[in-house]
Amino acid sequence: MNAVAAARSDNVTDSSTQSRTGLIDRLGLGWFFRLLSSSIGQKFVMGVTGLLLCGFLVAHLAGNMLLFVGEKSFNEYAHALHAQWELLAIAEAGLLLLFLAHIYLAFATTIGNLKARTNTYTLRQTKVPGRIIGANSWMFISGSVVLGFVILHLIDLRFALRSGIDYLVESDPGAPFHNTVAVLSNPLSRVIYFVGVIVLGVHLSHGFSSAFQSVGFNHPKYTPMIKILGKIFAVVIAVGFASIVVFVPGMWK
């Protein structure tokens, strides 16, 4: 039975008549498989992972704002964080999972979309009043730029692997602050970080409110506020991180 015919048959989702031969079925994980393979399930998971990543951004920005306070505060914060190494390891694994899921689904949905629209109109004009083709048409591209930035950022500071940057060894108590300023003073990192966080803001200017719609939350009482909140959130994240890139290296010469 081909996929269309299968979907057409009334009993396709009737658990009592489904054959239970595969491993997925024997473990009762059919729902999970459908969550990750159906269009709506995929969008739901994208929305949830996107929002959880937004939560991470808030925590990360708050911690990094200590770079403006001074060397001592930032190092103390970093050491306190790393003292919780068990929790940190779990958090990092969680973050990695969120990123991998979000990125996998970004590819899966975008490829599906390109396959669904194989040819384009000679003339194309929006009917949404005041819409300029903006952030919502550039989600895959803005996400990819963010991915590039995140990879460089991990190489720079999580793994301290960039050549030409004079890192202090991790055991040195001054390492967190010193290494951060050293990386931010590197011209290549500086430019890419700046572009990366601005494009992240663009991604969020659509992503934040879009995620609520994807998880099914659209309500006349709250949706107008969520839309505005999404724009404000995008600006706060972009300007917040960009201010670190722009001002911190000069402040602590």
Partner 1 sequence: MNHASSTNLNLTLKIWRQAGPQQVGGLKTYEVEGISTDMSFLEMLDVLNQQLIAKGEEPVAFDHDCREGICGTCGVVINGQAHGPDRGTTTCQLHMRRFQNGDTIVIEPWLAKAFPIVRDLVVDRSAFDRIIQSGGYVSVNTGNAPEANTTLVPHHVQQDAMRAAACIGCGACVASCKNASAMLFVSAKVSHLASIPQGQSERSRRVLNMVATMDAEHFGNCTNTGECEAACPAKIELTNIAKLNREYMTALMYSKE
Residues in contact with partner 1 by the rule CB under 8 A: 3-4, 6-8, 10, 12-15, 31, 34-35, 38-44, 109, 112-113, 115-129, 131, 136-137, 139, 206, 209-210, 213-218, 220
84 binds, among ligand HEM, partner 1, none (CB under 5 to 8 A by kind): none
Q: Which stretch binds ligand HEM (CB under 6 A): 81-89, 152-160, 191-199, 200-208?
A: 200-208
Q: Is 51 in the site for ligand HEM (CB under 6 A)?
A: yes
CB of 96 to ligand HEM, least distance (A): 12
| 199 is a contact residue toward ligand HEM (CB under 6 A) | no
Q: Among residues 124 and 253, whose Cβ is nearest to partner 1?
A: 124
Quote the longest CA-to-CA distance of the chain.
Answer: 71
Q: C-beta of 149: minimal distance to ligand HEM in Å?
A: 9
Q: What are phi and psi of 245, to 5 degrees?
A: -60, -40
Pick one of 24, 54, 152, 165: the residue that binds ligand HEM (CB under 6 A): 54
Per the structure block, which two tokens stand in for 140?
A: 């895959």
Distance of CA 84 to the CA centre of its chain: 24
Cα torsion 207, 141, 242, 171: sign: positive
In the list partner 1, ligand HEM, none, the entry touching 203 (Cβ below 5 to 8 angstroms by class) is ligand HEM
Q: Report the C-alpha gap between 46 and 79 in whole angstroms.
A: 33
Instruction: Find the DSSP H helices in 85-165.
Output: 85-116, 139-153
Give the number of other Cβ atoms within 10 Å of residue 197's Cβ: 23
Residues 104-133 that bind ligand HEM (CB under 6 A): 106, 110
Which amino acid, residue 103? I
CA angle centred on 205, ends 233 and 50, rounded to 5°:
80
* Residue in 101, 109, 183 with CA at minimum distance from that of residue 149: 183
> Which residues are near ligand HEM by CB under 6 A?
43, 46-47, 50-51, 53-54, 57, 102-103, 106, 110, 136, 139-140, 143-144, 146-147, 203, 207-208, 210-211, 214
